[in-house]
A = this chain, B = another copy of it.
C-alpha cells in the first residue's frame, strides 16, 4: 500500500475525515465530491471506488455522528434516577449544540431518508438505545410511573430532540438569556412522569 500516485492506500479514510471536517464547519450542503477530490489531490471519479454516491458518503458521516452522540450519552454516570435522566437529556442537547451541522445531517430527513442505509439506521437506533436504557432503569427502580416504556422514551426523545433543533436553528431567541433552559425543560417534563411517592422529596432536592 505504498504512497504512489495510484493506490495511495488511504483514500477512503482521508475522504471521510476531510468531508467530516467540511460538514462540521459548513454543513452538508457544502459537500462537493469534486472539491473534496481536488483538495486531496485525486480525480473526482476516484471517490466512487469507496463511496457509491454522494448520499452514501453523507450517510457515513451521519453514522460517525450517531456514534459520537452515543459515546457522549454513555459517559453519563449511572447516578440516581433523577440526576441520570436530567444528565442524559442535557448531554444530548449539548451534543447538538456542540455539533449543530453534524446534528442537522444526522436528522436531515430529506437528505438522508431512513430505510436506504441500514448501517445508518442501526447507528441511530444504537444511540437512541442508550436513552431508552436510562429511562428503563429509572422506571424499573420505581422512580417513574408505570407507564408504557415506548411512550416515555418517545416523550423524552421528542423533548430533547425538539429543544436541540429549535436552539441550534435560533428559534428560541432567549436561549442565551436562559442558560438553564434545558434543565428547566427537562425538570418540567419529569414533574409529570415521576411517581407520586417521590414527588415531595424531589422538589426538596431541586431547590436546596
Contacts and interface: CB of A to CB of B under 8 A. Distances in A.
B165 A161 contact: yes
A120 to B, nearest CB: 12
Contacts of A107: 165, 169, 171
Nearest to A114: B170
A142 interface: no
Interface in A109-163: 109-111, 113-115, 124, 128, 147, 150-152, 154-155, 157-163
A27 interface: yes
B110 A104 contact: yes
Number of copies: 2
A152 B188 contact: yes
Contacts of A157: 162, 166, 171-172
A9 interface: no
Contacts of A115: 170
Given A159-B155, A159-B159, A190-B192, A27 B110 contact: yes
A60 B72 CA distance: 38
A178 interface: yes
B158 A109 contact: no
A109 B165 CA distance: 8
Interface in A23-44: 27-29
Contact of A104 (B100, B109, B169): B109
Contact of A154 (B100, B114, B185): B185
Contact of A178 (B100, B151, B188): B151
Contacts of A150: 174, 178
Contacts of A162: 157-163, 165
Given A114-B169, A160-B162, 10 more contacts: A100-B109, A109-B165, A154-B181, A155-B188, A157-B171, A157-B172, A161-B162, A161-B165, A162-B162, A162-B163
